[in-house]
Amino acid sequence: MKELELISLRSDREIEAMRKAGRITAQARALAGSMVAPGVTTKQIDKAVREFIKSCGAKPSFLGYAGFPGSACISVNEEVIHGIPGPRVLREGDIVSIDVGAYFGGFHGDCAATFPCGQVSDEALRLIEVTRQSFWEGIKFARKGFRVSDISHAVQQYVESNGFSVVREYVGHGVGAKLHEPPNVPNFGPAGHGARLMPGMTLAVEPMVNAGEKDIRVLKDGWTVVTRDGALSAHYENTILVTEGEAEVLTVAEELPNG
């Protein structure tokens, strides 16, 4: 009951502020994705994300969060999440997961996607697409009266029916005035459990999907999470609003940023 009591329901004013934060965040994701190409460093992408978010009058949500040194988490190939931007040069055939957040008007937006670098394998493309589609399968259940684990179960069913596996140790979450708020939104588990969804809830739903086994480990940098078997991993995330009807995706880029 304690977690249920802590879940915030947003007012109309707060929802509008979150739409603005979400739009900036989604545009930053789009900008980052447009830069994924052989020869580009992850540090260059991170710098562009930081400068774009600041140019919008917002702050990068991740920069300094629990000591994280980047404005974006950039995770390549077997890296699942929390990759630290740096001198790594992207190569033809890589897949690149980019997770960004922007804080604007007192609220956070949070979103991620995985992008192909040049020509990638058919299996890598399928992993990216299944991960993305699993998000949309999940939020079919992000409706008034359903429970959080109805989203979780739908994600897991879709991923596993396509022969991939779902990461267990990291999950989606509530998002709003704080980057991470209750409730947790796992990408696995039986339906019919967890908080009952109500209009005004804002959630970050984020499937993390491995081409191989579900097991992961954290590198010595204390941040970068990788697949234990070295198989590829993909990530897809949006901030959503539970409404009286279908969920509204708040991290939508109405137009791509210039440049």
Which domain, by its residues, includes 46?
2-249
Task: Yes or no: say if 142 and 197 are a contact pair by the CB < 8 Å rule.
Answer: yes
Q: Which residue matches tokens 């931007």?
A: 85
148 assigned to some structural domain: yes
User: Does some domain include residue 210?
Assistant: yes
**Domains in the chain, number:** 1
Q: Specify the pTM.
A: 0.95
Task: Say what the pLDDT of residue 259 is.
Answer: 38
Confidence check: pLDDT of 41 > 60:
yes
* Angstrom distance (rounded) from CA 217 to CA 226: 6
Q: What's residue 36's pLDDT?
A: 98
What's residue 145's pLDDT? 94
The pLDDT value given to residue 72:
98
In a domain, 39, yes or no: yes
Side chain identity at 194, as an amino acid letter? Answer: G
Give Cα separations from 45 to 86, 117, 120, 155, 209 (angstroms).
Answer: 9, 13, 20, 29, 23
Q: Is residue 116 part of a domain?
A: yes
Side-chain half-sphere of 232: how many Cα atoms within 13 Å? 24
pLDDT given at position 5: 53
Under DSSP, the state recorded for 45 is: H
pLDDT at 4 over 50: no
Q: What percent of the chain has pLDDT over 70?
A: 96
With H, G, I as helix, E, B as strand and everything else as coil, classify residue 207.
Answer: coil
Tell me whether residue 129 is in a domain.
yes
Distance CA 89, CA 107 (A): 33
Q: Tell me: pLDDT of 256 over 80.
A: no
Contact, 134 vs 207, CB < 8 A? Answer: yes
Flag whether 33 is in a domain: yes
pLDDT at position 254 is: 62
CATH code (residue 122):
3.90.230.10
pLDDT at 257 over 90: no
Distance in angstroms between the alpha carbons of the first and the last residue of the chain: 48
Tallying the residues shown for the chain, one arrives at: 259
Q: Give Cα 222 distance to the centre of its chain.
A: 19
Q: What is the pLDDT of residue 3?
A: 45
For residue 90, is pLDDT > 80?
yes
Say if 258 falls within a structural domain. Answer: no
pLDDT at 255: 52
Average pLDDT over residues 220-238: 98
Q: Provide the pLDDT for residue 154.
A: 98
Q: What does pLDDT average to over the chain? A: 95
Please state, in angstroms and rounded to a whole number, the distance separating the CA atoms of residues 104 and 110: 12
255 falls within a domain: no
pLDDT tens digits along 149-206: 999 999 999 999 999 999 999 999 999 999 999 999 999 999 999 999 999 999 999 9
